[in-house]
Amino acid sequence: MPPLHFQTFNSDKVFIDNNMETTLVLLKPSCVQRQLIGEIVHRFERRGLRIAGMKMMQLDEAILREHYAHLVDRPFFPALAASMMASPIVAMAISGVEAVSVVRAMTGYTNGRVADPGTIRGDYSMSNQQNIVHASDSIENAAIELARFFRPEEIFEYESATLGFIYATNER
Ligand code: TYD
């Protein structure tokens, strides 16, 4: 994505924004089936993150072999793929300053049983696989994963009305 441009409420100074990142989140079938979509989306909104894209999709084996390429040879891959195809998922593009690491921290450790309380997995999951969300683990992977799940026109650049009260002007 090209850099976003925001005009601050402070006189006529215009900041060219370079600190914003966009990351990919998947609300997995364990989230959709347990009717937690609203609660999880609410957490990201409450944090001050901006929803830049959001859609429901049915995943297939081809996209999962690509998305979990680092795991295709692991014995649990067939069960993982089945769990990710068990119902539609919700794909989200989430933007904010350092959004990749912020969202990853909100997600928590892979295994919900050891994830810290206060994280999404630590609050909603008891499983190493049925763990509610996927979140990109690096800026590089976020770009690759966003392109895998979204067409460019499905990710929206718009100015959040509350931006000036979420960040100090020198943070964004
Ligand atoms: P991984 O990329 O290691 O973790 P994370 O989702 O925290 O980035 O694994 C991807 C998914 O694979 C994980 O969310 C659930 C599944 N998985 C298993 O089913 N069993 C396992 O032992 C591991 C490590 C992962």
DSSP for 19-33, please give it.
Answer: SEEEEEEEE-HHHHH
Amino acid at 118: G
In this predicted structure, the answer to whether residue 137 has a pLDDT above a threshold of 70 is: yes
84-116: per-residue pLDDT in tens?
999 999 999 999 999 999 999 999 999 999 999
Q: How many Å lie between the centroid of ligand 1 and the Cα of residue 155?
A: 26
Tell me 117's DSSP state.
B
Q: Is 83 in the pocket of ligand 1 (CB under 6 A)?
A: no
Q: Is 41 helix (H, G, I), strand (E, B) or coil?
A: helix
pTM across the whole model:
0.91
Buried b (16+ CB within 10 A) or exposed e, 44-63: beeeebbebbbeeeebeeeb
Q: Which fold has domain 20-151?
A: Alpha-Beta Plaits (3.30.70)
What number is the average pLDDT over the span 125-142?
A: 98
- Taking a C-beta distance cutoff of 8 angstroms, is the pair 93, 53 a contact? yes
Active-site residue flag, 134: yes
Task: Write the residue with the smallest CA distance to atom 1 of ligand 1.
Answer: 110
In this predicted structure, the answer to whether residue 5 has a pLDDT above a threshold of 70 is: no
Q: How many Å lie between the centroid of ligand 1 and the Cα of residue 127?
A: 10
Phi and psi angles of residue 122, each rounded to the nearest 5 degrees, phi first: -70, -20
Comparing 170 with 57, which gets the higher pLDDT? 57
What number is the average pLDDT over the span 56-78?
A: 98
Interhelix angle 99-107/37-47, rounded to 10 degrees, is 140
* pLDDT at residue number 47: 98
* pLDDT at residue number 14: 44
- Taking a C-beta distance cutoff of 8 angstroms, is the pair 21, 97 a contact? yes
- Taking a C-beta distance cutoff of 8 angstroms, is the pair 19, 97 a contact? yes
Pocket test for ligand 1, best of 66, 70, 80, 110 (most atoms within 8 A of CB): 110
Phi and psi angles of residue 74, each rounded to the nearest 5 degrees, phi first: -80, 145
Percentage of the chain lying above the pLDDT 90 cut: 87
d(CA 149, CA 12): 38
Token couple for 9: 């409420």
Q: Ligand 1, residue 83: give the atom nearest the CA.
A: 19
Q: Is 72 in the pocket of ligand 1 (CB under 6 A)?
A: no
Average pLDDT, the chain: 91
Domain spans in the chain, listed from the N-terminal domain onward: 20-151
Q: How many Å lie between the centroid of ligand 1 and the Cα of residue 80?
A: 8
* pLDDT at residue number 7: 34
Q: Is 128 in the pocket of ligand 1 (CB under 6 A)?
A: yes
Q: Is 76 in the pocket of ligand 1 (CB under 6 A)?
A: yes
Q: How many Å lie between the centroid of ligand 1 and the Cα of residue 12?
A: 47
Residues linked to residue 58 through DSSP beta bridges, in sequence order: none
